[in-house]
Amino acid sequence: MKSKKWLFFVILIITTPLLATTIEVCSDCQIKTIKAALSVAKPNDIIKVKKGVYKETNLIIDKSLTIIGENQPTIDGQLKGDIFKIKSDKVVIKGFNIINVGKDFANSNTAIRVQKSNNFEISYNRFENILFAVYIEKSSYGKIINNKIFGNAKTEINSGNGIHLWDSKHILITNNYIEKMRDGIYLEFASNCEVVNNFSTKNVRYGLHFMFSNDNSYLKNKFLSNGAGVAVMFSKRIKMMNNQFLKNWGTASYGLLLKEINDAEIKHNIFEENTIAINVEGSNRIDYENNNFTRNGWALKVRGACYNNVFKKNNFLYNSFDVSWNSKMNDNLFEHNYWSEYSGYDLDKNGVGDVPYRPVKLFSYIVNKTPETIILLRSLFINLVDFSEKVTPVFTPDFLIDNQPQMKPIL
Partner 1 sequence: MFKILKYSFYDLIRSRWSFIYLMFYFLLGVVLLFLNNNLSNAIVTLLNVVTVLVPLIGTIFGVMYYYDSKEFTELLLAQPIKRSNIFLGQYFGVAISLSISLIVGLGLPFIYYGLFISDKIFEFLTLIIVGTFLTFIFTAISFFIAISFENKIKGFGIAILVWLLLAVIYDGIFLISLIYFEQYPLDVFSLGAVMLNPIDLARTLMLLKLDISALLGYTGAVFKKFFGTNFGVILSYLILIFWTIIPILGIVWKSNKKDF
Alpha-carbon distance of 62 to 382, in angstroms, equals: 67
* Least Å from the CB of residue 380 to partner 1: 5
Q: At what angle do helices 380-391 and 362-369 cross, to 10 degrees?
A: 120
Stretch that binds partner 1, among 16-24, 71-79, 330-338, 372-380 (CB under 8 A): 372-380
Taking CB under 8 A as the criterion, the residue among 277, 382, 389, 397 binding partner 1 is: 382
111 burial type by CB count under 10 A (0-12 exposed, 13-18 middle, 19+ buried): buried
Taking CB under 8 A as the criterion, the residue among 157, 375, 394, 411 binding partner 1 is: 375
Residues of 194-212 as b/e, b for ≥16 C-beta within 10 angstroms? bbbbbbbbbbbbbbbbbbe
Q: What is the 3-state secondary structure (H, E, C) of 143-209?
A: EEECCEEECCCCCCCCCCCCEEEECCECCEEECCEEECCCCCEEEECCECCEEECCEEECCCCEEEE
Tell me: does residue 388 bind partner 1 (CB under 8 A). Answer: no
Taking CB under 8 A as the criterion, the residue among 343, 379, 388, 403 binding partner 1 is: 379
Taking CB under 8 A as the criterion, the residue among 320, 326, 330, 404 binding partner 1 is: 320
Alpha-carbon distance of 98 to 110, in angstroms, equals: 10
Taking CB under 8 A as the criterion, the residue among 241, 366, 407, 410 binding partner 1 is: 366
* Least Å from the CB of residue 387 to partner 1: 12
Taking CB under 8 A as the criterion, the residue among 5, 328, 369, 408 binding partner 1 is: 369
Range 257-296, binding partner 1 (CB under 8 A): 273, 275, 295
Question: Which residues, 6+ apart, have CB-to-CB distance to 372 below 8 Å?
Answer: none
Taking CB under 8 A as the criterion, the residue among 21, 22, 373, 388 binding partner 1 is: 373
Q: How many helices (H) and strands (E) does the chain have?
A: 4, 39
Q: How many residues bind partner 1 (CB under 8 A)?
A: 29
Tell me: does residue 328 bind partner 1 (CB under 8 A). Answer: no
Taking CB under 8 A as the criterion, the residue among 78, 152, 158, 383 binding partner 1 is: 383
* Least Å from the CB of residue 332 to partner 1: 24
Tell me: does residue 407 bind partner 1 (CB under 8 A). Answer: no
- Count other Cβ atoms within 10 Å, centred on residue 319: 24
Tell me: does residue 372 bind partner 1 (CB under 8 A). Answer: yes
Range 193-252, binding partner 1 (CB under 8 A): 249-252
> Which lies closer to partner 1 via its Cβ, residue 64 or residue 275?
275
* Alpha-carbon distances, residue 399 vs 145, 286, 314, 325, 352 (angstroms): 47, 18, 19, 11, 19
Taking CB under 8 A as the criterion, the residue among 374, 400, 407, 410 binding partner 1 is: 374
Stretch that binds partner 1, among 106-114, 282-290, 343-351, 374-382 (CB under 8 A): 374-382
Taking CB under 8 A as the criterion, the residue among 297, 353, 397, 405 binding partner 1 is: 297
Alpha-carbon distance of 107 to 81, in angstroms, equals: 8
Question: Any idea what the Cα angle at residue 283 is, between residues 369 and 222, rounded to 5°?
Answer: 95
Alpha-carbon distance of 12 to 5, in angstroms, equals: 11
> Which lies closer to partner 1 via its Cβ, residue 20 or residue 376?
376
Residues near partner 1, by CB under 8 A? 249-253, 273, 275, 295, 297, 318, 320, 366, 369-385
